[in-house]
Chains A and B, each alone.
Chain A
Amino acid sequence: MSCWQTVQDYGLRAIGIGERLLPREGFDLCQQFTLIGSGLIWNVYFGLLALIVGFFIANAVALCKASSNPWIRKPAEWFILVFRGSPLFIQFFLAYFIFLRVKQAGYMPWLTSAQAGALIVLVLNTAAYSGEIFFGALRTVPRGEVEAADAYGFTGWKRFVSIIWPTTMRLAWPAYTNEAIFLFHATTLVFFSGFPTWRQQGDALYYANYFADKTFNPFVPYPIVAFYFILLTLALIGSFGLVNRRLNRHLPQERRARLKFRPNIIR
């Protein structure tokens, strides 16, 4: 079977298009690259959606945590504490069993699928981690900028949107880039954590694990996963770097914050 044929059969296998059965023989490089690559669709799906939705929630959480009203501040603090203080793996399990209860009570049966349930967990998780990052950045906005805004007559919402928030983003961006990268890495946990795999439609690591189980040879599938994820990480660093450049465009060259990838925050 030619490699192109394999790509046609398994290129979109992870979303249920193409061959129904997973390969049972051969297990050549082409097969492994194709199937693991098709699994990457789910990693990108989880990562991208969680990143976008989580970004907005994280901003809200950071603002709530900075509030002087304890009725608003305390829930935000607890939210961050619970999601940052416990392992994502346990969060997945617990959420799955909660969703199972909800389903048995007759509501929202779609919650127990990985595509919806795990996504909710990932959104909340990344919202907590990024919320803490944004909160930290919010606290370090230079006082002079706020005073200058006051002097120019900016108040309330206008002052926040045009002065405080852009600076917060600029200060938080390097740390937020790391968080985004680790969010994508965390998506590999989804199909190992209670959420069932429907018709063997899994993510990249799920298929790599499948090949490693079948061939007893971990030295091919896992490096392929590593290869794909290094590409994904580079793409993320690239696109976040573009945003970073835009956020810093008003600063003199040497004061611009450089994006440096450091694994300081993972779950």
Chain B
Amino acid sequence: MKFRLAGDGSIFGFCTDPTTLDTARWTACYLTTGKHIGFYWSFVTVLVLLAVTAPTALLFGFGGASAARSQVLPLRWFGTIYISIVRGVPDIAFFLFFVIALDQGFEFLRHQYLCPDWTDRIWQGNDFVVCSAAKLPLGNAPQWVHEVYGFFLAVLTFAIVFGAFAANVLHGAMQAVPRGQIETAEAYGMTPRQAFWHVLVPQMWIYALPGLSNLWMLLIKATPLLFLLGVEDIVYWARELGGTKQARFSDYPHGDWRIWYFLALLVFYLAFTRLSEVVLSRLTRRLSHGQATIGATA
């Protein structure tokens, strides 16, 4: 995911002694130190998170929405509860909850499977203890495994929470497809399954698109919460790099620059959401072509 050059080293040759450089060169050297390269890579982390989470959440959402429409009662309950519980509770609470809960859940399952003759209790008072073979990641695993595992947990957490939002949107979209369409399908002798896959699903996207666009914006704006999940993301690096650096510990001493780093993050997010807005409105216009909605006729 990330590679880091050691400490203050830079890619430019003239950076050997930063104290002698003029402002422009100093800045160039400063912005290309190994730590800054790590900072730039964390932007890639955010983009990867978005690229992986968006389809996963859509999948979860589709599952939840289909479950909420299901003929089977327990499945319908599950779908409805999944959709409604996330709405009443702050999403940050879910983020903090799922990261620990998922981690413990995985370790518990592995513990049951790998150490069947373990007799001690797993929750010992205020401790959660599994055998060392069931630890995730394993105690002797290299650093990158820890980072990938943390990232994986974050993706899963995001997918569960945003899956519920997506399920809500898709459920509404399925309801919005005119009833006559399904009735026509039934009149042609289609089974409920056929009507669902061949009539309902192809038509629901145009109704879902405004909600899903909104959700995408929301997902972008939720990415800084990765920081709370313990991933070394852009917020982590901005705090780290912006903090006051003493000349004793760094070749590039400076005061408290966190304000500028966070200003840069703000600009990054503004540009990103603005770009998404433009692309999504184009997409909506293209997809609503030939559909009997207001967007197409207006």
Contact = CB atoms under 8 A, between A and B. Distances in A.
B221 A86 contact: yes
Contact of A90 (B126, B128, B256, B269): B269
Interface stretch (A130-138, A223-231, A239-247): A223-231
Nearest to A86: B269
B114 interface: no
A100 B128 CA distance: 40
Contacts of B265: 90, 93-94
B267 to A, nearest CB: 9
Given A85-B274, A93-B235, A222-B97, A205 B221 contact: no
Contacts of B225: 89
A192 B93 contact: no
B21 interface: no
A230 to B, nearest CB: 4
Nearest to B274: A85
Interface string B256-271: 1011001101100110
A81 interface: yes
Instruction: Report the interface size class on chain A.
Output: 35 or more
A186 interface: yes
A208 B224 CA distance: 21
A186 B259 contact: no
A113 interface: no
A83 to B, nearest CB: 10
B266 A94 contact: yes
A249 to B, nearest CB: 28
B83 to A, nearest CB: 10
A152 interface: no
A159 interface: no
Interface in A193-223: 205, 208-209, 212, 214-219, 222
B101 A230 contact: no
Given A85-B270, A188-B92, A219-B101, A94 B262 contact: yes
Given A90-B235, A97-B262, A226-B88, A208 B93 contact: yes
A139 interface: no
Give the one of B93, B222, B223 with max A CB within 10 A. B93
B146 interface: no
Interface residues of B, number: 48
Contacts of B91: 185, 266
Which secondary structure dominates chain B's binding surface?
Answer: helix
A97 B221 contact: no
Nearest to A192: B228
Given A85-B274, A86-B221, A97-B259, A218 B88 contact: no
A87 interface: yes
Contact of B128 (A189, A205, A216, A267): A216
Contact of B92 (A97, A192, A212, A234): A192
19 contacts: A81-B270, A85-B274, A89-B235, A97-B262, A185-B89, A185-B91, A188-B92, A205-B92, A208-B93, A215-B126, A216-B126, A218-B104, A222-B96, A225-B89, A226-B85, A229-B89, A261-B87, A266-B91, A267-B218
The 4 closest A-B pairs by CB, nearest first: A185-B90, A222-B97, A97-B259, A87-B221
Interface of A: 27, 81-82, 85-91, 93-94, 97-98, 100-101, 185-186, 188-189, 192, 205, 208-209, 212, 214-219, 222, 225-226, 229-230, 233-234, 261-267
Given A94-B259, A94-B265, 20 more contacts: A87-B221, A88-B221, A90-B235, A91-B266, A93-B239, A94-B266, A97-B242, A100-B259, A186-B90, A188-B90, A188-B92, A205-B96, A216-B104, A216-B128, A218-B96, A222-B96, A229-B88, A230-B89, A263-B87, A266-B91
Interface of B: 85-94, 96-97, 100-101, 104, 123, 126-128, 165, 168, 172, 211, 214, 218, 220-225, 227-228, 235, 238-239, 242, 256, 258-259, 262-263, 265-266, 269-270, 273-274
